[in-house]
Structure 1
Amino acid sequence: MRIETLIADNIAHRPDKTAVVAGDMRLTYRELDRQSSRLAAALQKHGIRPGDRIVFLLDNGSEAVVCFFSAWKAGGVACPLHPTIKSEKLAEIFRSIEPAAIIAQGRLLPIVDAACAVYGQPTTVIGVQTGAADSNAPSFEDLIAAEADFAPPAGLSENDLALLIHTSGSTGRPKGVMLSHANIAAACTSITGYLENTEKDVVLSVLPLSHGYGITQMVTMAMVGGTLVLEKSFAFPRVVLARLQSEDVTGFPLVPAMAALFAGMPDLSAETLPHLRYMTNAAAGMPPTTTQRLQTCLPQTALYLMYGQTECLRTTYLPPQEMPRRPLSVGHAIPGTSVSIVDDNGLPVAPGETGELVVEGPHVTRGYWRDDVATAAALRPGPNGMRLHTGDLFRADEEGFLYFVSRRDDIIKTRGEKVSPQEVERVLYALPGVLEAAVEGVDDAVFGQVIKAHVAVDPDAGLTERLILRHCAAHLEDFMIPKLVEFHDALPKTATGKIRLNAETAAEAKKNEESRIA
């Protein structure tokens, strides 16, 4: 299945159904089809050919959805990037993927121009919401308003490349994960199956459409003929809550930082959100205290704890009925795929032992764009074909349910022992008054590393370093107890909402770069 064919199916069955809601904009499937076909025709006129890469620097809005489907209709490869990207990194990606077109928010055109100047090759640039900005870029709004005859290119296949999603690693060069139409269709078909999605579903997403978790919300709703409601951020939870209510939202994807804010809303209840059928969590493990709060406030809403990687979009899920028995588990492989936990020699480990998670299935990436070394490291032969080595450490219980331990590179080695940051963080979250927590290893001349905890706390909780350390000592082995505690108003987060201690440094670097360009 090619993903753009989902629009044709919806046109045949529900052309006037609302496909996308964003701000004051509402697009039916008929309107989404018309706008994406007009933009696809414009791309063809600008010389876009099947296989060409098209970069998006777009906010969560109806324009982004139109751009994805127009790129696929033209046979292009969608390359979504988060709109906060710095010009140096953008230029580096341009040199790697050689984009034939760039579609960007009007306010970002100076950054695009700076990156294009470094890249040095002619590229079509299209501006979205340029307003009165002085720009020679063709206008997205003009292109979708102009009558145009669109003719799909011949010879398109589900095995064609559909997405290049660049990983957000904190060090090293960004890697472009290659996903075909067949990869995306396999993952999203599995997701809609276990979430039991139908055309009656309305999903609200604040997840960026530059990230796999956000993109799957768009594709799964198109797959079942549902409605996607887009919000730009979770900065104002009350606004999001009002939207959940006004649109009778049935599905709400979360990441842990959002979930903690959502669960902390004092008037959250089943009566507040009677239509909310399910919530999902991915990107990072959700603290059990947050899970319990959500279940208490919204007992009628199923909560799916999931795990995934960009390289396969989704890997595991925990059926909601299993959560009371194993609240720390991320479940088992999604339908139609398989996973295993292996040691350094690639051999399966016993239940309870820690090893690397490897994944097999039709959703697994084709590799990394023009990076044979990284591709060979991640995709290796297994008993049943190529397997994705995730780099994540897991263990399984006797019944085969999976538990995330840590990223291999995040393990803290202290006093001759290995410590999973997540295990310490779970204990910190269990202390009333701790709102956010993250743990890292810092160098120490005696112990190699010692554990440092970073926390954001409720000002009224009266928590001190001594109280936090006492709590940890009561629940952790000696070598796992933090030696240092640093207090913050809020912990730094990535653009996708993950708590990451180095995100603040990256944000400051971006601010400095924007000042230099201005």
Structure 2
Amino acid sequence: MPLYHDVIKKNAINYPDKCAIALDAVHYSYEELHARTLKIAHVLMANGVQPGDRVALYSPICIDLIAAYLAVLHVGAITAATHPTYSREKLVYQLKHTGARVLITHPFEALETLCLETDLTRIILIGNEETQHPKVISLDLAVSALQTLDTTLPELQDDTCVTSIFYTSGSTFNPKGVVVNHRIMVAATTSVTTYLNNTPDDVILSYSTLASDYGVYNILMPLYFGGTSVIESRQPQVAEDVLEVAKRERVTGIHIFPPMETLKKTF
């Protein structure tokens, strides 16, 4: 089977100018997403990330979070996404449980002390906020500091290599992790998109984060078949909220949580 990120990379070659992500009405082409992904991949490598390392993601949905997820796959590392609403206690638990070496996150209070409580060697802040802590860097500044992208990314071919550790919500004590690899992700994506008869013409709306397997597949599946992934960061309150986005983006399909069925009944 192909590696998951390689399929999306191929779509960036085939559809460079096509909208890959429409996030809160801001559009990003396949070429823009892939370019950002490669830059973040090189930042990860420059900060010592190697194949098999765990990279934790802890942030509300944003284009850099999506690019970072793909960048982790490009360097052969393993994503460990944490829900952005998790308490600090749960975040520390998960960082320890995964053995994450790098955390990609948004700025939050007492961030620097995480390095003392966990095995983190680097914290990468999404955005351009400067910091004086030796283990904390700004993603934007790190990308700007890249001299070249000539450094070769790892040669990856094994589809049994682990891609992600997905965690449960933790509603029944501590969150539990489930390990998946490229083969599992490709099989799951192919099964669902084949059943739904998805094509590159499809525009799929979701209200997801990258904090679970459900959210990852909702966001990445459209990129896998060359379609457009429409993401709204705010949950709809009434049916008209969904209809407004569907009309604006010419949505052909919607991936929703079961509670949103109550909204759908009012369509």
Instruction: In structure 2, give the amino acid aligned to 1:36.
Output: T
Q: Quote the Cα distance in structure 2 between the aligned partners of 1:122 and 1:162.
A: 19
Identify the residue that residue 129 of structure 1 maps to in structure 2: 127
Instruction: Summarize the Cα distance change of 1:148–1:58 in structure 2 as closer, same or farther, 3 Å threshold.
Output: farther
Cα offset, 1:36, TM superposition: 0.5
Specify the alignment match of 1:142 in structure 2.
141
Measure how far apart 1:197 and its partner are: 0.5
CA shift at 1:160, angstroms? 0.5
Q: In structure 2, the residue corresponding to 1:198 is in which secondary structure?
A: coil
Residue 30 of structure 1 and its aligned partner are, at CA, apart by 1.0
**1:299-318 matched pairs, under 5 angstroms:** none
Kept in 1, the 8 Å contact 2:131–2:137? The answer is: no
The structure with higher relative contact order (CA 8 Å, sep 6+) is 2
1:122 and 1:255 map into 2 onto residues whose CA distance is 33
Query: Which residue identity is paired with 2:247?
Result: Q
Count matched residues: 261
Equivalent residue letter for 2:246 = L
Q: 1:403-458 CA distances to partner (integer Å, 9 max, x unpaired)?
A: xxxxxxxxxxxxxxxxxxxxxxxxxxxxxxxxxxxxxxxxxxxxxxxxxxxxxxxx
Q: CA–CA distance in 1 between the matches of 2:152 and 2:219?
A: 24
Distance 1:239 1:63, change over 3 A: farther
Give the corresponding residue for 1:194.
195
Distance in 1 of aligned mates of 2:115 and 2:197: 44
1:116 maps to 2:115: yes
The aligned counterpart of 1:34 is: 35
Aligned to 2:204: 203
Aligned to 2:224, what secondary structure does the other structure show? helix
Does 1:259 pair with 2:257?
no
1:246 aligns with 248
The answer to whether the 8 A contact 2:128-2:141 is kept is no
CA distance in 2, matches of 1:114, 1:235: 36
Residue matched to 1:65: 66
What amino acid sits opposite 1:202 in the alignment? V
Q: Deviations over 1:448-482 (max 9, x none)?
A: xxxxxxxxxxxxxxxxxxxxxxxxxxxxxxxxxxx
Q: Say if 1:59 and 1:228 are closer, same or farther in 2 by CA, change over 3 A.
A: same
How far is the alpha carbon of 1:91 from its aligned partner? 1.2
State the alpha-carbon separation in 2 of the partners of residues 111 and 194 from structure 1.
Answer: 46
Relative distance call for 1:199 and 1:33 in structure 2 (3 A) is: same
Deviations along 1:458-514, one digit per CA (max 9) or x if unpaired, are xxxxxxxxxxxxxxxxxxxxxxxxxxxxxxxxxxxxxxxxxxxxxxxxxxxxxxxxx
Is residue 16–residue 28 contact of structure 1 (8 Å, CA) maintained in 2?
A: yes
SS at match of 1:64: helix
Matches within 5 A, 1:54-453: 54-106=55-107, 109-110=108-109, 112-119=111-118, 121-129=119-127, 136=133, 137-145=136-144, 146=146, 148-149=148-149, 150-237=151-238, 238-264=240-266, 268=267
Q: CA shift at 1:53, angstroms?
A: 0.5
Give the structure with the larger strand fraction: 1
Could you tell me how far 1:239 is from its partner in structure 2?
A: 3.8
Are the aligned partners of 1:6 and 1:223 in contact in 2 as well (CA < 8 Å)?
yes
| Structure 1 or 2: more helix by fraction | 2
- Over 3 Å counting, the alpha-carbon distance change for 1:193 and 1:155 in structure 2 is closer
Pair 85,11 (structure 1): closer, same or farther in 2 beyond 3 Å: same
Over 4 Å off, 4+ runs: 133-136, 144-147
Provide TM-score, normalisation by structure 1: 0.48
Structure 2 CA distance, aligned partners of 1:252 and 1:220?
A: 12
Shift of 1:259: 2.0
In the alignment, which residue of structure 2 is the partner of 1:15? 16
Which amino acid letter does the alignment assign opposite residue 86 of structure 1?
S
Q: Match for residue 45 of structure 2?
A: 44
Residue by residue, what CA displacement relative to the aligned partner does 1:112-141 show, whole Å, maximum 9, x if unpaired?
44543322x34211111365x866432223
Identity of aligned residues (%): 26
Confirm or deny: 8 A CA contact 2:13 2:31 kept in the other structure. Answer: no
Q: Deviations over 1:351-384 (max 9, x none)?
A: xxxxxxxxxxxxxxxxxxxxxxxxxxxxxxxxxx
TM-score after normalising by structure 2? 0.90
Between the aligned partners of 1:21 and 1:147, the Cα distance in structure 2 is 30
Could you say if the C-alpha distance between residues 122 and 11 of structure 1 is closer, same or farther in structure 2, counting changes exceeding 3 Å?
closer
Q: Which amino acid aligns with 1:254?
A: I
Q: Structure 2: how far apart are the matches of 1:147 and 1:245?
A: 43
Structure 2 alignment gaps of length 5 or more = none
Q: State whether residues 76 and 156 of structure 2, in contact with CA within 8 Å, keep that contact through their aligned partners in structure 1.
A: no
Which residue of 2 is the match for residue 427 of structure 1?
none
SS at match of 2:4: coil
Alignment partner of 1:36: what SS? helix
- Distance in 1 (CA, whole Å) between partners of 2:147 and 2:191 is 37
Instruction: Give 1:155 deviation, angstroms.
Output: 4.5
Indicate conservation of the 8 Å contact 2:169/2:175, yes or no.
Answer: yes
Shift in CA distance, 15/83, structure 1 to aligned 2, threshold 3 Å: same
Q: How far is 1:56 from its partner?
A: 0.5
Q: Is the 8 A contact 2:23 2:63 kept in 1?
A: yes
> Which stretch shifts more, 133-142 or 250-259?
133-142
| SS in structure 2 at match of 1:153 | coil
* Secondary structure, aligned partner of 2:109: helix
- Take 1:87 and 1:170, find their aligned partners in 2: how far apart are those partners? 16
